[in-house]
Structure 1
Amino acid sequence: MNTTNTSLIKKLLLLFLVFAGLYYAKTFLMPLFIGGILATLFLPFCNWMEKKKTPKGLSVFICLLSLLSLITSVFVLLGWKIYALLDDFVLIKKVSIQTFEAIQIYIYNHLDLTYKEQSQILMNEQPSYTNIMQMLLGSLAYFFTNLILILVYFLFLLYYRVHIKIFFLKQTMASQRNEMEQLIDSAANVSQQYLLGISKMIVLLWIMYGIGFSVIGVENALFFAILCGLLEIVPYVGNITGTLITVVVAGLHGANLSMLGGIVLVYIAIQMIQGWILEPLILGPQVKINPLFTIFALVLGELLWGIPGVVLAIPVTAIIKIMCDHIETLKPYGFLIGETESEKTEKGLLRRLKMDILSSNKK
């Protein structure tokens, strides 16, 4: 076996061990990663307060309160609209029963399964009420435990950020400390850019979906606009899921085909605006991952950590790319993950247009 094959096997083995470690250590690593990425989002605000002579501990505590306020606002907003949807629960239940009966008739006519046989199959597949309650309570306990851990990591990572940075610099040779400092700053910056960019994107999507759904007459248009916008944190899959939910619920409300087609057209129009205008102008230039590796990252994130892994996939992959770009032996992998030259050219034109508009406004 030659040296090249041995080196390749070692790299594949190392990659397997990394993914195995990520999978088995997800209980520890998942809240730590989320807390760390959220901490980078509040880093400029925290630094600004400290420059204004605000005590470090108070600055970090204000950041924590700000984060809690944002989380609470989103939950309150969604809860308010979900409560409004409950007014239509009777109608949705009635239409759902009618739809279910129509499906039963279709199965009986085409698959020759009687209603009794269909009911037996469904009863065998459905979990008991006790199991459902146990699953629900377990999920709630898991969610709140992880939320508390995320907030604790967020608090202490912000407070000890300089201490941790100095630790990494001490692990580096004196000749390479400037490069290591640049790497740490770039990794924090790319996470900031992504989170700030996606936040701006979500707000703009709320506005566009809200206007579009309201114009075509979708009931509870604001709720579905909020839902489609929030699901944008999962690229490609999230917005499709939000639109499908909107179409299904609108259909259960008795929407005609023209309204359902209108929902799809609104989705297509907004995706075109988002893909060709908003993403190149809003998302930072360092968040440059090609669509193929975006899908890879989402699939691997879901396999390793479930839904939180999907949410973390893009910022973590962007940080990995930054690391690859700064380490000579890993630069080919950074190139592989990054955009192609044609994608860079298209987005570069739009970014130059943005800079021209900003400079003309200043004049």
Structure 2
Amino acid sequence: MMTKTYPDPLKPVLYLFLLFLIFSGLYFTAGILVPVALAAIIAMLLLPLSRWLEENGVNRTVAAVICILVLLAAVAGFVFLLSWRVSNIQTNLNQVEEQIKKLLTGLQQTVNDKFGVSKAQQEQLIKKQGSSGAGSAAGYLASLATGFLGSLTTAVLMLIYVFLFISARRHFKRFILKLAGDQQEEKASMIMNEATGVAQKYLSGLAKMIVCLWIMYGIGFSIVGVENAFFFAILCGTLEIIPFVGNITGTTLTAMMALAQGGGGSMVIQVLITYGLVQFIQSYILQPLVVGKDVDVNPFFTIFVLIVGEAVWGVGGMVLAIPLLGMLKIIFDHIEPLKPYGYLIGNDDESRDQKPLWSRIKAWFKKKSN
């Protein structure tokens, strides 16, 4: 039986068409695949705990249940902490509301002076917008309730997926080894172990770095004088889960709150300076020390994969983008035809051999002391 061959100029077109089909499939199945992918990453993070429990005589199913309970306790504690701080913020809402009214009054005066639109006309336009949206209030509440129920269902499904990934991980591993065949079984097992290790190190390092960001943002915002500085420090640090976009969003909210509290432009500038200093420490000191080079990915592809992840899977895609790309690079590095793509995604030899800024600073001080 003869296999059909295609002319060389046609092969790139076929590859692009295949790539288009893959991303189209990922886009249209986001509601199904995103919870599964998130659950798989969380299961990898909880895997060391499960193995430790199993080594101490705990049944694998019971160990998986304990991991789920630990995860729920951590999430519940974080939600309780945030809700507690939100309740404290609500006691100052009257003061914040007055500041916002002052800002709106000044904005209305500016619009009146610059564009000739009187305050009465502006209020009339606002009332029209409010009346047009009043009729759809019931529909908005219904859609909000539907979204909440959908999110709750997804969260429950994710917990079930995490439990199944942990308790039945040997079954999934054997399936992949059977696909690889007897000759490639050892290599496939090594790839799975390395990919799992990369995800675990990235996520555990990210968690440690977020705690460090809580402390630094808390100290910085307290010095600046932002009210409820601890709450906004937790907000900015936690949003680091969504790279680049998350910390900017948290800092923007903090700056807006500082402005609403009557801090003025000087406090906003101080908040932005705090953000810049924390980001510098994170990028050049915390990242090499805490996270390290476990996910050895080129900065260009780090940004590119975040954009692609958001376009295909939304916020969940941005959260999953970097660990999934790191795991994909491990696969590329161990498969001969795909090694050039692994090299393209990773850092070049010069940047890989270059010492981090923190190591260079320590070497400089050591040299001076000698």
Length-normalised TM-score, structure 1: 0.91
Pair 1:150–1:347, CA change in 2 (3 A): farther
Find the counterpart in structure 1 of residue 368 from structure 2: none
Corresponding letter in the other structure for 1:164: F
| Alignment correspondent of 2:102 | 98
Q: What is aligned with 1:33?
A: 37
Q: 1-side partners of 2:227 and 2:289: how far apart?
A: 32
1:208 partnered with 2:201: no
Q: Compute the displacement of 1:256 (Å).
A: 3.4
One-letter code aligned to 2:345: I
Aligned to 1:358: none
Paired position in structure 1 for 2:366? none
Q: How does 1:175-324 map to 2 (within 5 A)?
A: 175-324=183-332
Give the letter for the 1:118 counterpart.
L
| Secondary structure at 2:180 match in 1 | coil
**Closer, same or farther: CA 70–146 of 1 in aligned 2, 3 Å:** same
Amino acid at match of 1:107: V
Q: Match for residue 59 of structure 2?
A: 55
**For structure 1, which segment, 331-340 or 33-42, has the greater mean C-alpha deviation from structure 2 after superposition?**
331-340
Q: Secondary structure of 1:286's match?
A: coil
Question: Where does residue 155 of structure 2 map in the other structure?
Answer: 147
Q: Secondary structure at the match of 1:53?
A: coil
For 2:125, the equivalent position in structure 1 comes to 118
Q: Which amino acid aligns with 1:254?
A: G
Bigger radius of gyration among the two:
2
For residues 346 and 147 of structure 2, the distance between their equivalents in structure 1, rounded to whole angstroms, comes to 37
CA drift of 1:144 comes to: 0.6
Q: Identify if the C-alpha distance between structure 1 residues 288 and 347 changes in structure 2 by more than 3 Å, giving closer, same or farther.
A: farther
Q: Which runs of 5 or more residues in structure 2 are unaligned?
A: 363-370
Residue 153 of structure 1: how far off its partner (Å): 0.1
CA drift at 1:225: 0.6
* Runs of 5+ unmatched residues, structure 1: 355-363
Amino acid at match of 2:156: I
Contact persistence 2:295–2:326 (CA under 8 A): yes
**Are the counterparts in 2 of residues 46 and 60 from structure 1 also a CA contact under 8 Å?**
yes
CA deviations on 1:27-76 (whole Å, 9 max, x unpaired) are 21111111110000011111111111111111111111111111111111
User: 307-316 or 129-138, which moves further after superposition?
Assistant: 129-138
Percent identity between matched residues is 38
1:157 aligned to 137, 140, 165, which one?
165
Which amino acid letter does the alignment assign opposite residue 24 of structure 1? Answer: F
Q: Write the deviation string for residues 190-249 of structure 1: whole angstroms up to 9, x where unpaired.
A: 110111010000000011111111122211010011001001111122112111111110
Q: SS at 1:212's partner residue?
A: helix
Name the CA distance, whole Å, in 1 between partners of 2:132 and 2:47. Answer: 49
Contact 1:281–1:351 (8 Å) recurs in 2: no
Aligned mates of 2:173, 2:106 — CA distance in 1: 63
Q: Residue 74 in 1 paired to residue 74 in 2?
A: no
1:361 paired residue number: none
Structure 1: how far apart are the matches of 2:157 and 2:361? 43
Tell me the SS of whatever aligns to 1:27: helix
- Listed one character per residue, the Cα deviations across residues 79-105 of structure 1 (whole Å, up to 9, x for unaligned) are 111111111211222222222233233
In structure 2, what is the Cα distance between the partners aligned to 1:351 and 1:334? Answer: 27
Bigger CA drift: 159-168 or 10-19? 10-19
> In 2, distance between residues paired with 1:338 and 1:142?
38
Q: Does the 8 A contact of 2:259 with 2:267 survive in 1?
A: no
Match of 2:365 in 1: none
Deviations 1:136-158 (CA, angstroms, capped at 9, x unpaired): 21221121111001100000110
The separation in 2 between residues aligned to 1:260 and 1:148, in whole angstroms, is 40
C-alpha spacing 1:322/1:125, structure 2 compared with 1 (3 Å): farther
The answer to whether the 8 Å contact 1:191/1:319 transfers is yes
What's the offset of the Cα at 1:164?
0.6
Give the Cα separation in 2 of the matches to 1:80 and 1:342.
48
Aligned-partner SS, 1:287: coil
CA contact (8 A) 1:322 1:334 kept: yes
